[in-house]
Amino acid sequence: MNITAYCRVSTDKQDQLNSLETQKKFFSEYTQRTGNTLVRLYADG
């Protein structure tokens, strides 16, 4: 299955910026683990 993910943080605080990287990593690992394809990752932060 092709997957598109959207990651978002609501502030520019450093802990929130780390959260954005954590979200990106989660979706990348999730699609690899489930055998799906991450075709696009949108990030707003």
pLDDT beyond 90 at 40? yes
Residue-averaged pLDDT of the chain: 88
Q: Are 4 and 40 in contact (CB under 8 A)?
A: yes
Q: Residue 45: what pLDDT?
A: 65
| Residue partners of 42: CB distance under 8 A and separation at least 6 | 4, 5, 6, 7
pLDDT beyond 70 at 17? no
pLDDT beyond 80 at 16? no
pLDDT category of residue 44 using cuts at 50, 70 and 90: confident
| Domain range annotation of the chain | 2-44
Kindly report the pTM of this predicted structure: 0.75
